[in-house]
Structure 1
Amino acid sequence: MSIIERYILRNCALAFLVGLGLLTSVIWISQALREVDLVASKGQTLAIFFIITGLTIPSLVAIIAPLALFAAILYTLNKLNADSELIVMSAAGLSQWRLLRPFAVVSLVVLILVAWMSIWAMPSSFRGIRDMLSKVRADFVTFLVREGQFVPLTNGIVFHYRERGPNGSLLGIFIQDRSDPEVINTYIAESGSTVEVDGRNFLTLSKAFVQRQTRNDKDPAMVSFESYALDLAQFTAKEDGIILKPRERSTLDLIKLDPKAADIYTQTYFGRYRAELHDRFSGPLYVLSFAMIAFLALGQARTTRQGRGTAIAAAIIAVLAIRLAGFSASALFQRSAWAIVLVYGIPLGAFALATFLAFRRSGARVPAPRPVVRRHQVIQGTAQ
């Protein structure tokens, strides 16, 4: 790679990193502000807050990186043209292929980055968010319930404790469970603490009394325990079992997914799982199409009299239209299997068309000064 190509490569890579960092930071902050409730009302630490919000970064990078590359190529080419460097390079015989080479190297690196994010990092991060939120909900006794208050929970359960002990235990516990309309269970204990066993959270009650009363029984039955364990899962909202959403499944799971052997939910919404799988493979292709559209717009040397604003605006409109068409194709693919042609055809077709148009005009060159020199020589000979 020549010095000129390394110079272009350095400028484009730096512009991409700056653009990716700024765009990701802005969108991440807007997303993180929605999760402030974790700290404000659910009593979680800042570490949990940053872990959960940080796990959204792979999904942001997968979407932002192609756009950041598009902007970086536009910025680099516009800067080269504004400083007349692109005109000098073209006059010196720099071909369109050599001019494209540094941008192709950056595009290839970004393509690998987006593919890694889409295929592995993004589903892993969504699964991590699900696990973290499950732990937050399971740990509601320690962080959500306030001392001295009767707090109504889900499923007709009321929880109360008098105060916290010195070691973080709960003192003076009262729990009334009306989740079953036929039976009312009341738990009273001197103290209790949360423990985790095999990934499940339990509230261990010490010196507890359990009162059980059915609708037909006037006299409730009461049993005392020295130690009694309650599964905290019954105090939280019921989720959709162990069913994982399409974005939470690994790519290998989606490839092996058989709709005939899957559960009812997966069979009903199998189109979403199918679309998610192919979105992970087709998403990185937009890196190539966006890069080539930017090169098509400003890859040709222009004089200062030739406006570049129209070309930049046309490129931005084309990129937005192509990405919206890709989203529409993915939504259509959830209902109709034939739309897989559009899922891959839109980014690949845009890349092929932009490449054809870019190199169709590659024969245009800045005229060499040789004819001017010959004319000057002829005029001097005539004068003599």
Structure 2
Amino acid sequence: MGSLERYIFRQAALAFVAGLFILTLVVWITQVLRQLDLVTNSGQTIALFFMMTSLGIPVLLALIAPIALFIAVVQTLNKLNSDSELIVMSAAGVSPARVARPLFVLTMLVMVFVGALSLWLTPSSIRHFRLLLTQVQANLLTAIVRPGQFTQADRGLTFHIRDRAPGGVLLGIVVADTRDPQVHMIYVAERGVISEQPQGTFFVLENGNLQRRETKDGATSIVVFDRYAFDLSQLTQAAETIYRPSERYTSELMSPDPADPMLERWRGRFRQELHDRFAAPLYPLAMLCIAFAMLGQARTTRQSRGAAIAGAIIIMAAFRGGGFAVSGIVAARPAAVPLVYLLPVVTIVFFGAMSLGLIKVRPPEVLTRLSNEITDRVTRMIAARTAQGGSA
């Protein structure tokens, strides 16, 4: 690349990195707040907490990178146009293809980045997150049960606690176990703790009683105990063996095990996840084509730039929303699989042709005039307030 291309590439790359960092940080913080109760209530270390939340970053990067690229391209082209650099380039004979070349190079890098995330890194990180979450859920009750609330941990198994004490101790415990249709049992205890043993995970209850009722004849018996171990191994083991489609490696989605009990249940989601991963690298290129088609030409008025930016944002939002909608359809209908690839490909071809001047689309005069009037009013309003602030 020449000096001009390097200049444009540097501008866009810096904007992309900054936008990707800020957007990812904002979304990551919301995920941190969601996971905070889960980890802190189960008495886990701060290192494990940050490790678990950081494993979600590849997922965020794969979703946010195309949008961050779109923002970077829009910002770069708008800045070049605002500083009249695009006008000078056009007057000097620089073609739109040459201006787009460094942006295309950046887009190729982003496509490789998104492809690596979608096909390899994201499934691995989510799967590792599930393993860590299983470890945390070994302390199942301290993780999900809230004081004063009835919580169903499994079908026919409900927990209730009055309060928590330091060291993971639960106070005022009620456990209703109706998983066996022949016998219903209710455990009441003053306190209890989760205990990890070689034989499994146990909820150790202290100072309580067990109320056992036969459903056939209604016979009831009460057993008072000082210490009772309630087996939780089945609950924690279930989380270890079931992996959702998003947690499967790409090779497992391409060639699923026919004996997998979840295959028939989640066959649509298997198909949806696989094709979403393969289509993900197409989205950065589509974002570039949309942004460059709307802002790649030199403009001399602020009104036209405002209308072009607004139009680019609307088209980008509609395109990305359409991608999510098509993905949902694929989960239910196998015949919709081609749409996963057709949507970004058609977008790339159409707006790429617009970028090169092969297709010229003019918006209706009414919309152009309305957009220009709104932008002009906003500009005058801002200028007036600025002038008032300066005089004050």
TM-score, with normalisation over the residues of structure 1? 0.74
Over the aligned positions, Cα root-mean-square deviation in angstroms equals 4.3
Tell me the residue number matched to 2:311.
314
AA in 1 matched with 2:81: N
8 Å Cα contact 2:138/2:236 also seen in 1: no
Tell me the residue number matched to 2:46.
46
Tell me the residue number matched to 1:33.
33
8 Å Cα contact 2:194/2:201 also seen in 1: no
Q: Report how many aligned residue pairs link the two structures.
A: 351
Tell me the residue number matched to 1:348.
345
Tell me the residue number matched to 1:19.
19
* CA offsets 1:79-116 (integer angstroms, 9 cap, x no match): 11111111112222222222111101110111111111
Q: Can you give the 5+ residue segments of structure 1 that lack an aligned partner in the other structure?
A: 206-210, 364-384
8 Å Cα contact 2:211/2:220 also seen in 1: no
Question: Percent same amino acid among aligned pairs?
Answer: 41
Larger radius of gyration: 1
CA distance in structure 2 between the partners assigned to 1:70 and 1:220 by the alignment:
67
1:44 CA drift (Å): 3.0
TM-score, with normalisation over the residues of structure 2? 0.73
1:362 CA drift (Å): 10
1:284 CA drift (Å): 1.7
1:140 CA drift (Å): 4.6
Q: Can you give the 5+ residue segments of structure 2 that lack an aligned partner in the other structure?
A: 361-392
Tell me the residue number matched to 1:96.
96
* CA offsets 1:142-172 (integer angstroms, 9 cap, x no match): 88999xxxx9995367999xx99xxx899xx
Tell me the residue number matched to 1:280.
277
1:300 aligns with 2:297: yes
How does 1:1-384 map onto structure 2 within 5 Å? 1-39=1-39, 41-140=41-140, 155=157, 182=183, 194-195=195-196, 197=198, 201=201, 232-234=232-234, 236=235, 239=238, 242-257=241-256, 261-263=259-261, 265-304=262-301, 307-360=304-357
8 Å Cα contact 2:330/2:336 also seen in 1: yes
SS of match in other structure, 1:244: coil
Q: 1:43 to 1:335 in 2, by over 3 A?
A: same
1:133 CA drift (Å): 2.0
1:128 CA drift (Å): 2.2
1:176 CA drift (Å): 8.4
SS of match in other structure, 1:257: coil
SS of match in other structure, 2:35: coil
SS of match in other structure, 2:260: coil
AA in 1 matched with 2:32: A
8 Å Cα contact 1:43/1:144 also seen in 2: no
